[in-house]
Amino acid sequence: MFTERFRSHHDAEGGLEALLGNKGGGMGRLLKMKSWSSVEKKLAESPKDLPRGVYIHVPYCDRICSFCNLNRTERGSADLDAYAAYLSDEIKTFGAYPYIRERPFGTVYFGGGTPTILSTEQLSRILNALHDHIPLTDDCEISVETTQHNLGVKKALALAARGVNRFSVGIQTFSGRGRKVLGRTYDSEKAIDALKELRAAFTGVLGIDIIYSYPGQSLEELSEDAELCLSLGIDSVSFYSLMIHKGSALSHSIAHNQIQFERDIAWDRERHHLFYKKLTDGGFTLLELSKLVRPGRDAYRYIHIQYENGELLPLGSGAGGNLAGFRMYSMAPGRRFVSPVDKRHERYYRMLGELQFGLYNAAKMAEGLSGGTENAIREKIDELHSLGFLDPVPGSSNYTLSPDGVFWGNNIAVEVLGAAIHAAKKEKKVYG
* Positions of E strands within 261-416: 285-288, 291-293, 311-315, 319-323, 326-332, 335-340, 359-360, 390-392, 399-401
Beta strand pairing call for 311-315 and 52-58: parallel
- Dist. CA 236–CA 243, nearest whole Å: 21
* 79: exposed, middle or buried (Cβ count in 10 Å: 0-12, 13-18, 19+): exposed
- How many CA atoms lie within 13 Å of 114's alpha carbon, on the beta-carbon side? 23
Residue-wise pLDDT tens digits, 128-137 = 999 999 999 9
Closest CA to 143 of 64, 68, 211, 55: 55
pLDDT score of 254: 79
Least confident segment among 61-75, 143-157, 229-243, 286-300: 61-75
For the chain, the structural domain boundaries read 1-29+342-432, 31-307
∠ CA 36-40-43, rounded to 5°:
140
Decide if 106 contacts 141 (C-beta within 8 A): yes
Decide if 52 contacts 106 (C-beta within 8 A): yes
- Dist. CA 368–CA 170, nearest whole Å: 35
Q: How many residues does the chain have?
A: 432
Find residue 201's DSSP bridge partners: none
pLDDT score of 432: 45
Helix, strand, coil shares, percent, the chain, to 5: 45, 20, 35
pLDDT score of 252: 75
Q: How far is CA 394 from the centre of its chain?
A: 30
Decide if 338 contacts 326 (C-beta within 8 A): yes
pLDDT-based confidence at residue 27 (cuts at 50, 70, 90): very low
Q: How far is CA 308 from CA 41, 85, 128, in A?
A: 25, 32, 29
Q: Is 2 helix (H, G, I), strand (E, B) or coil?
A: coil
- Dist. CA 303–CA 310, nearest whole Å: 10
Closest CA to 148 of 243, 232, 250, 30: 232
pLDDT-based confidence at residue 160 (cuts at 50, 70, 90): very high
Write the DSSP assignment of 86-140 as a string of letters.
HHHHHHHHHHTSHHHHTS-EEEEEEEES-GGGS-HHHHHHHHHHHHHHS-EEEEE
Task: With both helix axes pointing from N to C terminus, report the angle between 409-427 and 9-20 in degrees, rounded to the nearest 10.
Answer: 20
What integer is the mean pLDDT of 299-314?
95
Residue-wise pLDDT tens digits, 324-372 = 999 999 888 878 889 998 788 889 999 999 999 999 999 999 999 977 8
Residue-wise pLDDT tens digits, 384-399 = 999 999 999 999 999 9
pLDDT score of 28: 47
**The architecture CATH gives domain 31-307:** Alpha-Beta Horseshoe (3.80)
Is the pLDDT at 30 greater than 60? The verdict is no
pLDDT score of 67: 60
Q: What is the mean pLDDT of the chain?
A: 92
pLDDT score of 29: 53
pLDDT-based confidence at residue 215 (cuts at 50, 70, 90): very high
pLDDT score of 251: 76
∠ CA 77-80-85, rounded to 5°:
140
What pTM value is reported for the model? 0.92
Q: Is the peptide bond before 113 cis (omega within 30 degrees of 0)?
A: yes
Max Cα–Cα distance, the chain, nearest Å: 61
Q: Looking at domain 1-29+342-432, does it have CATH number 1.10.10?
A: yes
Element (H, E) at 73: strand 73-74
428 vs 208, residue with greater confidence: 208
For the chain, the first-to-last Cα distance in angstroms comes to 31
Decide if 62 contacts 74 (C-beta within 8 A): yes
